[in-house]
Each structure stands twice: as structure tokens, then as C-alpha cells.
Structure 1
Amino acid sequence: MDKSKNQVVTEKSIRLLQQNQYTFQVDSKLTKTEMKNWIEQFFDVKVEGTNSSRIANKSGRKVSKLNLNSTSRKKMIVRLKRNSFIPLFLSQA
């Protein structure tokens, strides 16, 4: 699925792993239901819930006179049911 871009690795997302919650950066047009279905099919786990938030672009330099400050990024936090996990960090030894 090319709508799920990558996993977000920050201090907060690592803390959320202890609560069985995983953070992904996704396409801005993706819905919660589509993400839930994809996670359940791809990783063979049961999703308890999803939270999503749009991340605004940084308004540093203006490229033109028009201020194109659209929200092009979206972050989703997926909460799994107990005894389910997604192997995010695989050891390659």
C-alpha cells in the first residue's frame, strides 16, 4: 500500500509502543477505516481504534504571492487489541 508512507519514530511514538499503539505517517486522503482494514490484513492483527491528525506545513518562505498553506501530511495512531503486536524493529543479524 503506497498510502502508508512510513512509521514515525519519535520519543512520544516510542512511549506509545508500551501502550500497544503504533504511529504511521500516511497519505492525507486516507480514512481511518481504510487504514484499519489495511493494518488488519497486512499484519494479521486486530485493531481496537485509530486516531488521526493533520500536520500543517511549516510557513517559512513563501514561494509566490499565494500562500499555499495546505495540510499535506497526516499522522495516524493505531491502537491494537491486547496480545497483538506489529514487529516494527526486526534484527538483521
Structure 2
Amino acid sequence: MMIDVVKYPILTEKSVRLMDANQYTFDMDSRLTKTQIKEVIKEAFNVSVVAVNTHRPPRKKRRVGMRQGFKSSYKRVIITVKAGETIQLLPGSSDAA
């Protein structure tokens, strides 16, 4: 299923503020294009996607003992949905809040 390419939603102070403007933030597989991301979100959450903004944060070094490597890369995505539509990310939250 295509929802497997969505790694997880981002719930930071900034991303929660963006939810008021119908924008939602996710980490996704870095191989996806903007049109593929739009289709995955449309299928998974049944919303109309207006815009997709992406960027790739820099890779971070990690060390385990004497071995050194990098964290796996990902793509940070900000999805803008049509006004009046929402994506339920926070457990227990309602649309009336």
C-alpha cells in the first residue's frame, strides 16, 4: 500500500501552528515526487491537496562505538489541503476545537 511511504507526521510547535492554516507536515520517502506525494495523501486521508512543499534536511552523522555512519535520508513535506478539510493527526482531538 502507498501509505507505507509516509514515515510519520511531524508534531512540533511550528507544525501545530501550521495546522490552523490547513497545512500538515510529514516525513516521507525521499524517492517520491510532488505529484506522487499528492496522490498518496489524497488516497490515505481522503482530502483535496492544494499544494505540496518539500525539502531534504541535511544528513546527520551517527557513531556507534568505533563505527561511524549517517542517519537515513528522508523528505520533509508540508501539505496544504483545501479550506474546510482536515487531517486527523492528534489523538482525541476533534474538528470543533
What is the TM-score of this pair, normalised by structure 2? 0.79
Ranges in structure 1 where 5+ consecutive residues have no aligned partner: none
Matches within 5 A, 1:1-93: 1-59=3-61, 63=67, 72-91=73-92
| 8 A contact 1:36–1:50 mirrored in 2 | yes
| 8 A contact 1:5–1:25 mirrored in 2 | yes
Moved over 6 A (4+): 68-71
CA spacing shift, 1:71–1:54, aligned 2, 3 Å = farther
Q: Which residue identity lines up with residue 44 of structure 1 in the other structure?
A: N
Shift of 1:90: 2.8
| 8 A contact 1:56–1:70 mirrored in 2 | no
Give the Cα separation in 1 of the matches to 2:57 and 2:12.
15
Shift of 1:59: 3.7
Give the Cα separation in 1 of the matches to 2:4 and 2:25.
16
Range with greater deviation from structure 2 (40-49 or 53-62)? 53-62
What is the TM-score of this pair, normalised by structure 1? 0.82
